[in-house]
């Protein structure tokens, strides 16, 4: 199984007992993020630590300085 094939995302969800809508996939490749999004998983395209830090703050998570 390889990204962005749907089988790898479905396997990870099942293995961890997760629902797509309650999960977040982070990757530095848009095609891989899109593969997760197509299955209902929230996706984030990682480009910089600053953009990631801002994003997770919107989720109510604060990183230490």
**Does 1 reside within a domain?**
no
**Does 10 reside within a domain?**
yes
**Does 49 reside within a domain?**
yes
Is cis: bond before 36, omega within 30 of 0?
no
- pTM flag (> 0.75): yes
Q: How high does pLDDT run on average in the chain? A: 94
Token reading at 1:
């199984």
**Does 45 reside within a domain?**
yes
Structure confidence by residue, pLDDT tens digits, 33-60:
999 999 999 999 999 999 999 999 998 8
**Does 64 reside within a domain?**
no
**Does 38 reside within a domain?**
yes
CATH code assigned at 25: 3.40.50.1000
**Domain containing residue 23:** 6-58
- The number of distinct structural domains making up the chain is 1
pLDDT of residue 59: 87
pLDDT of residue 40: 97
């Amino acid at each position: 199984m390889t990204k962005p094939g749907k089988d790898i995302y479905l396997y990870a969800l099942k293995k961890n007992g997760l629902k797509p809508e309650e999960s977040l996939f982070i990757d530095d490749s848009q095609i891989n993020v899109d593969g997760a999004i197509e299955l209902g998983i929230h996706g984030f395209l990682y480009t910089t630590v600053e953009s990631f830090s801002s994003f997770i703050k919107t989720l109510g998570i604060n990183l230490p300085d």
